[in-house]
Structure 1
Amino acid sequence: MENGQASRTALGAATLRAAHQLIDGDVKLLNDPVILELIDPETRSRICENADTFNSPGTLGMRTHIVLRSRYAEDCLKEAYEKGVRQFIILGAGLDTFAYRQPSWASGLKIVEADHPSSQAEKFDKLIKAGIAIPSNVSFINVDLETDDLERTFRNFINFEEPVFTACLGVLIYLSQSCVNKIFQFLGGFSEGSEFIFTVSQKRNDKYAVITSQKVAEEGEPWISYFEPEALIEQLKNNGFTFAEYLSPEDAYELYFNNHDLRLPPPSKKNILRAVI
């Protein structure tokens, strides 16, 4: 991301979440009316007028991934809350909307949205223009993940003596390996019962991946870090996590797609992980 510029890929992800609300029928994998308020009317019109483009195989698969990762993270968060977790960090929050459509049980959560200052400023602007109030249980942290000391950055917002649930969706691929290691070490030092839901990618050479990689690089947000599954699980355990597993396509199908009238196709790859301390 270039200095002074909000994340363009975050806006792209928001557009695909909006497409799910607008063109995927009445049965939703994720009900997110707020995202429609955070994108401009021109984008909403473009989605509706170009549904065929948004339903191309590559874009459809990416829409499944983006919607599924949020739904899975929020379901895991609810499970963690029921076990007593009361702190929630959204790392690289972008235009995530959970805090602005939070269910009644989430009022007991302390929600911390952390992102680059430029992205935070753009989100504030969109929230204000949409007339969306910021709930009293939400705080914001400006952070440069590559350069900032994470413990110093979060210590006035998080009680490190209590468990924390952290979501980091669609972020790590844009960060250097040293930054990823720093994040794993930081989160792996949290209290017992803490959880970490995040997404990663393996190197792919299919046409859609190549085209998308070139596009995001041209926007100043190149894909940098890729992970091999077995090595990643070992890396997490070496950093303090006692359990880590991918959400497999088979498990995702059983949880969300089997016997449901969803227009989205089930995922074909495993790239969402859950790690627990």
Structure 2
Amino acid sequence: MNNKSITALVSAFARAYHAEHNQIKIFDDRLARELLTNEEYANISSNMSKGITFFLPEFTGTQEECLRAIVDWQLSPSPLGRAAFAEQALENAVTLGARQYLIFAAGYDTFAYRQPDFADHLQIFEIDHPATGDDKQRRISALHWHVPSNVHYIPADFLEPDWQNGVLSCPAFDPKQISFSSLLGISYYLPKDTFKQLLSAIVLLLPSGSSIVFDYPDEFTFTPQAGGRTQKQLMMAAQAGEPMQASYSYRELEQMLEELNLLIYQHLTPAEITGQLFKAYNDSQPAHPITAFDNVNYCLAVKR
């Protein structure tokens, strides 16, 4: 955790590649490419395309065709799907009265800098480990992006017991205001008790009616029944120094959330993610279909 997150950079690359190469998009992150240097983009492109025998052993084609195949098959499904799910849920939450958006482990998320109209009345808090958060702030400064007045960066190490003090001490944060929180790409990398403690701390920060969206690996993730992409993702995360540590059955997750006074409001399996979030793109690109990542579900929970 002393260095910027490699997985966060690869996620940004996947969002950027998808936005640049498709007219109909699963999720349109038009700013992601700007956050990556040309060298980083080229290096990730080269390294991924050279790994075609690892990702898709039987694939043949040019280097660019290899890269697209890897991005569409391995890299894009999770960053695109969970971002689309989260921002759709956020828009709905805003219509129901949410006025604060807390982005936990924000990484290189760009929502705060491409705010849609519905975000006009939101206070947006990017909460991340200083190693990644500070790196992102340096990139934004170098790009001379305008930082909207409703955007607030809060450094926090979720493994520290008092991380929430940084949120409470932010003058713009109101613990009485209905809020929406996203915890995308987090549950994989924390032990179960640590993830539960994180959710518990967030629940205590916010009033009833607030909601939390997150993705999580299912109970087959660490078993031989896991999909091929999942098995490769486990190896990649470990090699990047960010090993995955936990997975959950639906019943286990439901029970944990009930203990935290959270009610599951929406839940999507991989088949439902593909059918609901990827359909328009897949209809437009039959030669390059994208399916939701194996063994990964999305959850939207509301505090009672």
TM-score between both structures, scaled by the size of structure 2: 0.82
SS in 2 for 1:191: coil
Displacement of 1:258 in angstroms is 3.6
Equivalent positions of 1:108-119 (< 5 A) are: 108-119=121-132
Q: 2:291 — aligned with what?
A: 266
Q: 1:121 — aligned with what?
A: 134
Distance 1:264 1:63, change over 3 A: farther
CA RMSD of aligned residues (A): 2.3
Distance 1:231 1:20, change over 3 A: same
The number of residues matched between the two structures is 274
Q: 2:253 — aligned with what?
A: 232
> Does 172-181 or 63-72 show the bigger shift?
172-181
Equivalent positions of 1:67-78 (< 5 A) are: 67-78=80-91
Maintained 8 Å contact 1:247/1:274:
no
Maintained 8 Å contact 1:92/1:169:
yes
Q: 1:159 — aligned with what?
A: 174
Amino acid at match of 2:297: N
Distance 1:54 1:197, change over 3 A: farther
CA distance in 1, matches of 2:289, 2:183: 23
Q: Sequence identity of aligned pairs in percent?
A: 25
Maintained 8 Å contact 1:19/1:54:
no
Maintained 8 Å contact 1:233/1:245:
no
CA distance in 2, matches of 1:40, 1:271: 32
Q: 1:196 — aligned with what?
A: 212
Displacement of 1:192 in angstroms is 1.6
Q: 2:242 — aligned with what?
A: 221
Could you list the per-position Cα deviations for residues 184-238 of structure 1 after superposition, in whole angstroms to 9, with x for gaps in the alignment? 2123332121010101113244443333322322222111122122101111111
Amino acid at match of 1:13: S
Maintained 8 Å contact 1:18/1:44:
no
Displacement of 1:162 in angstroms is 1.9
Q: 1:276 — aligned with what?
A: 302
SS in 2 for 1:29: coil
Maintained 8 Å contact 2:72/2:290:
no
Maintained 8 Å contact 1:246/1:270:
no
Maintained 8 Å contact 1:236/1:244:
no
Amino acid at match of 1:31: D
Displacement of 1:145 in angstroms is 0.4
CA distance in 2, matches of 1:44, 1:125: 17
Displacement of 1:51 in angstroms is 3.4
CA distance in 1, matches of 2:186, 2:66: 25
Q: 1:9 — aligned with what?
A: 7
CA distance in 2, matches of 1:264, 1:147: 41
Q: Does 1:34 align with 2:31?
A: yes
TM-score between both structures, scaled by the size of structure 1: 0.89
Could you list the per-position Cα deviations for residues 23-51 of structure 1 after superposition, in whole angstroms to 9, with x for gaps in the alignment? 3x211111111101001123445649843
Maintained 8 Å contact 2:100/2:179:
yes
Gaps of 5+ in 1: none
Displacement of 1:56 in angstroms is 3.3
Q: 2:154 — aligned with what?
A: 141
CA distance in 2, matches of 1:230, 1:151: 28
> Does 163-172 or 56-65 show the bigger shift?
56-65
Q: 2:20 — aligned with what?
A: 22
Distance 1:264 1:169, change over 3 A: farther
> Does 243-252 or 100-109 show the bigger shift?
243-252
Distance 1:209 1:251, change over 3 A: closer
SS in 1 for 2:255: helix
Distance 1:234 1:247, change over 3 A: same
Gaps of 5+ in 2: 50-62
Distance 1:197 1:254, change over 3 A: same
Q: 1:101 — aligned with what?
A: 114
Displacement of 1:253 in angstroms is 4.1
